[in-house]
Amino acid sequence: MTRACALAAGLSAALAGCSTDGGNNPLASRSTTVEYYRVFDIRTDAPAQSVTKAATDGINRNVKDAVVATPPGVEATDLPGHFKIADPTGVPAGSPVARGPSCDGAAWTAKATPRVRGTEDMNLVACLFPYKSGYHLDMVAVFTKPEGGIMHWPRRLGSVFLGTPEKFTESTMMDVVRAIREGTGANVSLVEARPNLAGTPWMEPGTNTAQGNSGGAASLAGAAGAPAQPGNAAGTVKASSVPQ
């Protein structure tokens, strides 16, 4: 009995030690919203068809079920466009509210809701806006990430071997930029990024970290062997500004 009590006391102490992470209890179930936002300036004289084809090739490297569109009659503007967030207050009662940002004025759009390990509802949008000097590529990804609970440690262990949703998001966005640069010889520069993006990872060869299966789901099975990209820190955790 004494030995059993000692073992129980030791196990309780070990669990207590494992359950603290910066003052938070990881065994308490919760979820956080993570947002990635990237804007790139793309300077190129390549034909529009070449640019949009390269962008499609780039998104298809990781996401097999993206809905891609190239609206006709889009003209280049003096200044680059920017996606807009839908305003639910301006929608008539009973009408559906647009999910995610609007790409009005874009020459190419890609929207997807890939099923990625470690997330519940990833929403990915990319817009390519033509202007007189080239294009602006706006990309945003928002997802809810479950944390804590009885699956806390299994999820952590799985992320070591299968990768994280943050790595999938970063790799997907960088592959779109890489494909455009490689396919058109464009001069690419970063305009804005949240969270911060260090270095120039779009200049480096990429490794596909996800392949769509027959159902169009994204898997992170290959992420463990992929090289980590600079600036691949975890996304900022905050209330999402993009409708889910």
What does the pLDDT read at residue 7? 30
**What is the pTM for the complete model shown?**
0.66
Beta bridge partners of 226: none
What does the pLDDT read at residue 13? 37
What does the pLDDT read at residue 164? 86
Q: Residue 160 corresponds to which amino acid?
A: V
What does the pLDDT read at residue 83? 81
What does the pLDDT read at residue 178? 97
Q: Taking residues 172-186, what's their average pLDDT?
A: 96
- Quote the CA–CA distance of 148 and 22 in Å, as a whole number: 13
Sign of the Cα torsion 227, 229, 233, 237 reads negative
Helices and strands, counts by H and E, the chain: 4, 7
Nearest to 139 by CA among 159, 118, 125: 125
Over residues 83-138, the pLDDT tens digits come to: 887 554 443 454 443 456 889 999 999 999 998 877 878 999 999 999 999 999 99
What does the pLDDT read at residue 21? 43
Nearest to 195 by CA among 164, 232, 235: 235
What does the pLDDT read at residue 154? 52
Q: Residue 69 corresponds to which amino acid?
A: A
Residue 199 has pLDDT above 80, yes or no: yes
Residue 141 has pLDDT above 70, yes or no: yes
Lowest mean pLDDT, pick from 77-86, 129-138, 158-167: 158-167
Q: Taking residues 15-27, what's their average pLDDT?
A: 44
Lowest mean pLDDT, pick from 3-12, 84-93, 151-160: 3-12
Pairing of the two strands 187-194 and 30-43: antiparallel
Q: Taking residues 185-210, what's their average pLDDT?
A: 86
Residue 12 has pLDDT above 70, yes or no: no
Q: What percentage of the chain carries pLDDT values higher than 70?
A: 59
- Quote the CA–CA distance of 107 and 126 in Å, as a whole number: 11
Over residues 23-56, the pLDDT tens digits come to: 455 566 667 888 999 999 999 999 999 999 999 9
Higher pLDDT pick, 40 / 13: 40
- Quote the CA–CA distance of 180 and 174 in Å, as a whole number: 10
Over residues 214-224, the pLDDT tens digits come to: 333 343 333 33
Give kind and range of the element (H or E) at residue 169: helix 165-184
